[in-house]
Amino acid sequence: MIVDDAAFMRMMIKDILMKSGYAVIAEAENGKKALEKYKEVKPDLVMMDITMPDMDGITAVKELMKIDPHALIVMCSAMGQEAMVIEAIQSGAKDFIVKPFKADRVLEALKRLLRSTTPPYRGWSLLLTSSVD
């Protein structure tokens, strides 16, 4: 699942993932909608922006961990958000990528997380969320 308030960021991440054989099963434009979608589709992995309206990524990570303590969440942050990335990791996110990001870094983070989990996830479906412009 991809969570980001910028539609172009969701589209860019989705394009990277789909070209590499991943299925993107959901998108959301803020943390609040991400929580709803997560409950519906139960993705293997979530890529989440930090700064979003209605509910930011850090709050969403904390709430997702209450729903599913084993959730795999990769944070997407802009340069200069180190303190927020640290808080997100302490709250349960498993990795982060920095914007603007390169396709190989996105794929590297996903592969590392999905390889390290047991049991293997259901075909690596992703719920990607992002904020809407």
- Domains identified in the chain and CATH numbers: 16-129 (3.40.50.2300)
State how far the Cα of 26 lies from the Cα of 43, in Å rounded to an integer: 8
Across the range 17-46, mean pLDDT stands at 94
pLDDT for 130 beyond 70:
no
Residue with the two structure tokens 């070209």: 19
Q: Given pLDDT bands bounded at 50, 70 and 90, which one contains residue 122? A: very low
Q: Is the bond leading into 53 cis (omega within 30 degrees of zero)?
A: no
Across the range 41-68, mean pLDDT stands at 94
Tell me if the pTM is above 0.95.
no
